[in-house]
Chain A
Amino acid sequence: MTPGPESPSCRLEAVDLTCERGDRRLFAGLGFALNPGEALIVEGANGAGKTTLLRTLCGLSRPVAGSVRWCGEDIHAIRPEFNAALNYVGHQPGIKADLTPLENLRVDLALHGLARGDLMDILDRVGLYGFEDVPCRTLSAGQRRRVALARLLAVPARLWILDEPFTAIDRDGVGMLCEAIDAHLAAGGLAVLTSHQAVELAHGRVGRLTLGRAA
């Protein structure tokens, strides 16, 4: 059973998730469901387990108990399909400092089995036009973050999991990203993000999850 991109049942569910870091229990019995067109904003103090939750949702970490389900199936059982539907931007931007933005994006496309898209247009949209042939190490922190975010636009995926996507990004960039998330939700995508900033999304139903108290 391969979940098709248009399948309406493709929703992300967390069932009775319990996560620990070291010997400390971060949260227990966490459950939610995210439907197409919905966004979930994860909030919580530093150390509440936001990043751990996001890494668990994308399958990098395994929960102590419970499961994460995509289209009703455990993500570890359908990893290739789930990964094809996933776009994750973590704490580390996941770009090579010695490659140019264009070279970085080409590798990302190839990893997802895609031919070369119109990357210049995407770089233009994230405000990196003119920087496409500059090694990323010479870019500022915010610009490097934008390269990572350009991946969201370059690689089509249903589910966006974004860990602090607004870090180091200027106000225009925040607006650009909010628009991108809006467009993604309007097209039936799902998004899970953490942010310390107020996120203003026009479209889609936005849920909020506050970690650190219930557990």
Chain B
Amino acid sequence: MWRAMVSVVKRDLLLAVRHRSELVNPLLFFLIVVSLFPLSLEPDPRMLATIGGGVIWVAALLAGMLALDAMFRPDFEDGTLEQLVLSPQPVAALALAKVFAHWLVSGLPLMLMAPLLGVLMNLPGEAMLALLATLAVGTPVISLVGAIGVALTVGLRRSGVLLSLLVLPLYIPVLIFGAAAAGDAAAGQSIAGPVLFIGAMLVLALTLAPLAIGAALRISLE
């Protein structure tokens, strides 16, 4: 099973490297959305610092959603998804491998880019650390929960709006705690609460989402 999972991760990373341009799109979107805020609002450093954490989290969420569709659609179209489902390995394990590979090329870069945008939003140092910590535990939740939505809608021809409707409400708790942590840190409070809460969501998603993704993929392939 490990060999199969490693091989799926390796394959998806190799494919990602060969489609570099597609990887950059969500990142550019992230950058553009965040950089529009100082332009459209009053460029008051204090106000930017107050809203910065929330803005970056919202932008990261939307950029993450933008990248979701690429998780299973190409596999669905070229038939490799059928081969995954028909392999003797548990579908949930292979789905987890795919989500992990997807997070490595979408969630992780978003997270690494966030401090840069934090500077843009004049975030204080503590808030920046809080942002990094919440994104580190929050972006895998986004990938895992989003994958359920993608797996359910991959068989539909136009799934964009439906996917957002399915998945965005589930993201809201992550968003609330993520954005709150940056504010808490700036106010000098401990961020352990929000981070642990998102961490709990991550544990829940890690254990249950692969099963849901596997079942959803089977339904989509029927």
Contact = CB atoms under 8 A, between A and B. Distances in A.
Whether A associates with B in a native complex is: yes
Interface of A: 58-62, 80-81, 83-84, 86, 88, 90-99, 103, 106-108, 110-113, 135
Interface residues of B, number: 27
Contact of B221 (A60, A91, A96, A113): A60
B89 interface: yes
B82 A90 contact: yes
Given A62-B222, A96-B15, A110 B7 contact: yes
**In the A-B complex, the 10 residue pairs with the closest CB atoms:** A92-B79, A110-B7, A94-B79, A84-B88, A111-B87, A94-B83, A83-B88, A98-B18, A61-B222, A80-B88
Interface SS majority for chain B: helix
B158 interface: no
Given A96-B78, A103-B11, A110 B86 contact: no
A99 B83 contact: no
Nearest to B218: A60
- Find the residue from B6, B82, B85 having the highest chain A CB count within 10 A: B82
A108 B6 CA distance: 12
Contacts of A81: 88
A89 to B, nearest CB: 9
Interface string B71-112: 000000111101111111110001000000000000000000
A97 to B, nearest CB: 7
A108 B83 contact: yes
B3 A113 contact: yes
Nearest to B17: A98
Given A108-B83, A113-B1, A99 B11 contact: yes
